[in-house]
């Protein structure tokens, strides 16, 4: 295998997720070189640069876009800046990996996708869970027709602890902030598009979330074009840890992806038999998926193929999220085409 | 412990479930004596009597009701005969255990319950799953406040193979024939009453079921008065065996009752790691629960207490089933009080 | 299927295990009738008779042997009486089921077997674990060549709590009282005979057991004629419950029979994830096996075939136990033929 | 946390395990810099250097020892060179991490340890399994007195496939090549030293292994000074994958470290219920442990503390291995002090 040409990368946004990608690129993505990191807070950029042995930092992301050596950028800044940076990066001819969501406004997302498509750059959206080895294995079984046609698809997705209220305020609401990952997973696993959404939910963990007009517990039912019926259940607070499971039931059997546990030790005593709790949160649970999604992005650039998760995936999941919001507000099933942004 | 007075029992209906109860009473219900078995087919009654060492058989259930020695009857005949026999038995002063459903007509059920209540006899409905050791243990944990307030309640209930089309025709439809058990379980575990039902479903296993106006695959969402959100998923055909699981998620944790397996053996080979499949169907899966529900019925008679599953439980589950039918037909959430029979 | 001729049975010894068999015969062994119960304590015989609806009781077991209607006896009396009763029963032409061990003296056991063989009656020894559905399923996999030749066989066998010291005194020692079941299981699963035994052990749970010359914790290594290497580990006190597992490792894979649990409920909280403990002791763990072994005995009588566990099995397991005692005493591997009684 | 001074490292031996350490240091060991790689095959050194971005390679390890910037070396060369290189490195004042075994000759090992001790450099032996998160968690439970005094310790250690016969020839035999890891684990978990060893085994997978005087299947029993009884079972060929489990049984309960699986997906079909196989071999199973052991080594240098696994651990495990060989040859329990090299 001859070594591939090194892809030079800039990271825009050095918060928690930007830092995560920076480290993964520095240590686990062969064929890449992390060249520059930008953040509106210079010390954030500097800290990431120090940790990853990167020389160049900036507070102005356009300096990264102007750097002719850099062929790909990772957009890890705050959600409200995504759309603009994507457009700028596309116009600068950079291949783009962007964290979800692209934007909270459906029309804006469509415009962004239009610009990206015209530019011809690669565009991948950060639905990392598709790259989780367990969900990827489950999808592989589906692709191999292990259980035939899918009849019922169930996704459990619960965070270990609620985010700060300040975060909730700016999040766009549970369905577009948290459930959006599950909507993408449901599309990924069903291999189809949603026709109709029915959503229920409430703020039962923290009443102040309700005062902000949001919910922290939800049940969503999805009907897919190919007949698959799906439920998603969400909670902002699973006290036993990050609960991320999928069950697919079909004509020839069932597939279940269980939680990953922090260790394999079982303790039997006079009182009880205990095993380890699930991994606490996404950094532990999904660490392999973050590495894998960047590798897939790099591979798409190298091979000049379409990224496996693109702009349309970002768009569709947002649209389902908005339909779920409408369904909750009006307590009725909402067809996807009722939500046009 | 002084021995209790023996309760003499007659069984009306000697089909599969009548036979099951006959054997359990003959072999595993101390303090009871099975005295008489009736069936419209004399050879069915005789076969059961032979197997259980019972002398008396009849094709006319009123002979059982006229027998002054018999203090309790088990009604295991076909559904369309339940209401009349219950009324007759109540008027004859017999304590009554009746298989579900009481009747498919809500008004009829209410009338039956009225007559039973006036008569003062014990009346237990055959929601055996409440007596399953696993679900009973889960309920015990809930009662002990192991997970605090319930937020989400998920029931999986799938049969191994569809019933004959002839059965489907007379069944009243999936929601009142099959899901009715799950509605009762949801009420039992939530400790509350349903406000609203939203149901989806289709005939995806056998199109002929759809031609009969029924479905074989369903997702139901229930909203309870106390705020619990619940889903039930049903299939008439889980090829891997009888799939009967419950998951309750709450403020302080999660309870899960998993399937019982036919054995504990794991086989690891170069190809795979296999474990045993779930018990094939209800006779194996719920055999303990059938014994336990009859014991509870006998105990209620002995102790002169209310049976733990009574006429109102039969009524409420039917009402939820009818609301689910209406929801499916009209594709909208239906409030329980919209269905008044 | 035409009904078989009813086999009339007498039980000799109405202690815990005699009572267990009495109830199983009364309730779950079709084609049998329990006619008489004897015990040296008349009230023990009476209590069992009352519970099982048996008319005849006696303190003198010879009355059972003289009863021409009775064709089979279950010997559940104390170990020191087994040999004599077996001989008497054989001479009376009764088919014999006897609890293990036949006797603690090897020569005595051989004499008993000689007499039984000459008499031509059926003779089954109570190694009930062979009939446990899980171990039976594991054996079935072995017979089906699921893992090829066995290389390593591991048996874990631990009681939940030590017996009274008085029991220990009369037990013959851990190896012939407790491990004898595991020796039989090892023979059953290996399909071969033991060549050599090496045993280690100590009294680490209760020093008084050591003062009596016995041990409460043991490791035994067995070498079989067919090359299988086996370990057995025993403890008189597994505080988490009855621990009964088997692992067979071979050229094409591994078979493991895990513990049976008291229920299937998992509890996840902020502190821990708990599942149910193993069944507490043999009455719960092996209840199916007790029913099955009696059914097998009855079937052998009906079909006039050899019982699947006979006198030789009782003899061989005792011999291994005595070899283990010798090995422990002399701290060296002992060949089975060094122990001739 | 202020950044620590960077430790400069040289790797001696760039085979499979040397390459593994090189990559881990390059990517996952903060506070280290990999400066030089030596191998007797220049292309092996070069390949590792290219992959890890290292400038300096050599075929002569003394060039690494002479480099004043390098303060620590990892010895990953073939076993027969370990002792000499350790002595040279110690005399050069380098901190030493050496793969197991130190040497196959007990006297030689003692001499090496003497020289290392006199030199005052850090010396860690590569018993990586102590650093496996699962076994480390199990040890933590033991240290927290979760199960009280240990009575029985069982280690299962089976490779997925036998090594080449050429490797077997030079390996020193199963007990010092493979079981040595398990001996170290048993010492680690028991917290005590072995008094006596009894070993059984044979070449049942490949007769040619027997022709070479070695075995491929083994059962070992260990008696520890503190009374712990232990068994180890080994196989060179577990066709279902790398089988690495530990069970510790004690006065207050049991701890079990199960295998890690390649994914969490369960597949239920009409035929079977399957889960993923164990990780295939040590690179997958123990990858975290390799990272952790090097971090521990670096930390010991930084903090100027004793490495948690030192020369004496290498010595003791070898001695147990030699005692096991003697026990197998003479078919009798061998006391550790019978083996003095």
Q: How confident is the model at residue D320 (pLDDT cuts 50, 70, 90)?
A: very high
Phi-psi group of A28: left, alpha or beta (phi > 0 → left; psi -120 to 50 → alpha; rest → beta):
alpha
Pull the structure tokens for residue C62: 């010879």
Could you give the maximum distance between any two Cα atoms of chain B, in Å? 67
Q: What are the tens digits of pLDDT across the range B110-152? A: 999 999 999 999 999 999 999 999 999 999 999 999 999 999 9
Residue A50: closest C-alpha in chain D: D3
Q: How confident is the model at residue C5 (pLDDT cuts 50, 70, 90)?
A: confident
For CA atoms D278, D281, D283, D287, the dihedral sign is positive
Asked if A214 and A168 count as a contact pair (C-beta separation under 8 A), the reply is yes
Cβ of A255 and D265 within 8 Å?
yes
Q: For chain A, how many residues are written? A: 341
Q: What are the tens digits of pLDDT across the range A25-69? A: 887 777 889 999 999 999 999 999 988 889 999 999 999 999 999
The reported pTM is: 0.95
Q: Do strands C56-58 and C32-38 pair parallel, antiparallel, or not at all (unpaired)? A: parallel
Distance CA B173, CA B326 (A): 12
pLDDT surpassing 50 at residue C2: no
Cβ of A273 and C268 within 8 Å?
no
C221 touching D (Cβ < 8 Å) = yes
Could you tell me where the beta strands, DSSP code E, fall in C39-177?
56-58, 72-75, 95-98, 123-125, 150-158
In C2-31, the residues whose Cβ lies within 8 Å of chain B are 3, 26-28
Question: Which residue of C151, C198, C238 is in closest CB contact with D235?
Answer: C151
A168-181 mean pLDDT: 95
Q: How confident is the model at residue D314 (pLDDT cuts 50, 70, 90)?
A: very high
- What local confidence, expressed as pLDDT, does residue C30 receive? 75
pLDDT surpassing 60 at residue D1: no
The residues facing C125 across adjacent strands are: C98
Cβ of D265 and A257 within 8 Å?
yes
Higher-confidence residue of B3 and D18: namely D18
Cβ of D257 and A269 within 8 Å?
no
Percent of chain A with pLDDT over 90: 91
Q: What are the tens digits of pLDDT across the range A109-158? A: 999 999 999 999 999 999 999 999 999 999 999 999 999 999 999 999 99
Distance CA A294, CA A297 (A): 5
- What local confidence, expressed as pLDDT, does residue C341 receive? 66
Q: What are the tens digits of pLDDT across the range A252-292? A: 999 999 999 999 999 999 999 999 999 988 889 999 999 99
pLDDT surpassing 60 at residue D4: no
- What local confidence, expressed as pLDDT, does residue C66 receive? 97
- What local confidence, expressed as pLDDT, does residue D283 receive? 87
Q: What are the tens digits of pLDDT across the range B219-234? A: 999 999 999 999 999 9
B274 touching D (Cβ < 8 Å) = yes
Cis peptide before A101 (omega within 30 of 0): yes
The residues facing C95 across adjacent strands are: C72
B305 touching C (Cβ < 8 Å) = no
pLDDT surpassing 80 at residue C41: yes
The residues facing C197 across adjacent strands are: C222, C334
Percent of chain C with pLDDT over 90: 90
CB-based burial of residue C326 (10 Å sphere; 0-12 exposed, 13-18 middle, 19+ buried)?
middle
| CA dihedral angle for residue A163, residue A168, residue A170, residue A172, rounded to 10 degrees | 120
Mean pLDDT of chain D: 95
- What local confidence, expressed as pLDDT, does residue B5 receive? 79
Which of D82, D65, D47 is CA-nearest to residue D10? D65
pLDDT surpassing 90 at residue A242: yes
C56-78 mean pLDDT: 96
**How many A×B Cβ pairs under 8 Å?**
95
Distance CA C319, CA A16 (A): 68
pLDDT surpassing 90 at residue A2: no
Residues of chain B with pLDDT under 70: 1-4, 341
D246-256 mean pLDDT: 98
Distance CA A337, CA D311 (A): 71
In C47-76, the residues whose Cβ lies within 8 Å of chain B are 50
A146 touching D (Cβ < 8 Å) = yes
Give the minimum alpha-carbon distance from A156 to chain B in angstroms, rounded to a whole number: 10
Give the minimum alpha-carbon distance from A263 to chain D in angstroms, rounded to a whole number: 5
Cβ of D269 and A137 within 8 Å?
no
- What local confidence, expressed as pLDDT, does residue B1 receive? 38
- What local confidence, expressed as pLDDT, does residue A4 receive? 57
DSSP-derived 3-state class of residue C95 = strand
Q: What share of chain B is helix, strand, coil (3-state, %, to 5)?
A: 40, 25, 35
Chosen from D33, D262, D267, D274 to mutate, greatest number of chain A CBs within 10 A = D267
Pull the structure tokens for residue B201: 């479903």
D85-97 mean pLDDT: 98
Chosen from B229, B258, B273 to mutate, greatest number of chain A CBs within 10 A = B229
Cβ of C238 and D249 within 8 Å?
yes
- What local confidence, expressed as pLDDT, does residue D341 receive? 66
B239 touching D (Cβ < 8 Å) = yes
C61-87 mean pLDDT: 96
Give all strands of the β-sheet with D95-98 in edge-to-edge order. D56-58, D32-38, D7-12, D72-75, D95-98, D123-125
Distance CA A258, CA A243 (A): 9
Cβ atoms within 10 Å, residue A1? 3
Q: For chain D, how many residues are written? A: 341
Asked if C250 and C147 count as a contact pair (C-beta separation under 8 A), the reply is yes
pLDDT surpassing 50 at residue A1: no
The residues facing C222 across adjacent strands are: C197, C230
Q: What are the tens digits of pLDDT across the range C149-169? A: 999 999 999 999 999 999 999
Cβ atoms within 10 Å, residue D59? 12
Give the minimum alpha-carbon distance from A238 to chain B in angstroms, rounded to a whole number: 7
Give the minimum alpha-carbon distance from B159 to chain D in angstroms, rounded to a whole number: 13
Tell me the chain D residues in contact with residue C149 when contact means C-beta distances shorter than 8 Å: 204
């Amino acid at each position: 295998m001859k070594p591939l040409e090194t892809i030079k990368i800039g990271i825009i946004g050095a918060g928690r997720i930007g830092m995560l990608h920076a480290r993964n690129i520095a240590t686990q993505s062969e064929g890449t070189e992390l060249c520059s990191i930008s953040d509106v807070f210079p010390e954030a950029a500097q800290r990431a640069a120090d940790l990853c042995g990167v020389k160049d930092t900036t507070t102005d992301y356009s300096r990264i876009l102007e750097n002719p050596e850099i062929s790909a950028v990772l957009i890890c800044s705050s959600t409200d800046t995504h759309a603009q940076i994507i457009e700028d990066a596309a116009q600068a001819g950079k291949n783009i990996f962007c964290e979800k969501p692209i934007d909270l406004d459906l029309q804006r997302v469509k415009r962004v996708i239009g610009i990206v498509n015209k530019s011809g750059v690669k565009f991948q959206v950060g639905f990392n869970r598709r790259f989780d080895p367990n969900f990827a294995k489950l999808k592989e079984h589906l692709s191999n027709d292990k259980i035939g046609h899918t009849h019922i698809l169930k996704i459990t997705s619960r965070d270990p602890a609620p985010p700060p209220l300040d975060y909730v305020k700016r999040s766009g609401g549970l369905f577009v902030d948290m459930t959006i990952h599950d909507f993408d997973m449901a599309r990924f696993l069903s291999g189809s598009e949603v026709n109709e959404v029915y959503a229920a939910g409430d703020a039962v963990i923290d009443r102040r979330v309700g005062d902000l007009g949001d919910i922290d517990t939800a049940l969503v039912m999805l009907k897919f074009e190919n007949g698959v019926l799906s439920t998603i259940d969400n909670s902002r607070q699973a006290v036993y840890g990050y609960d991320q499971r999928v069950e697919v039931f079909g004509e020839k059997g069932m597939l279940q992806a269980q939680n990953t546990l922090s260790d394999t030790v079982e303790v039997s005593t006079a009182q009880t038999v205990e095993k380890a709790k699930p991994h606490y949160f996404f950094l532990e649970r999904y660490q392999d998926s973050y590495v894998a999604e960047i590798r897939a992005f790099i591979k798409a650039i190298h091979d000049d193929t379409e990224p496996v998760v693109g702009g349309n995936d970002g768009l569709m999941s947002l649209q389902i999220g908005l339909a779920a919001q409408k369904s909750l507000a009006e307590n009725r099933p909402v067809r996807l085409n009722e939500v046009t942004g």
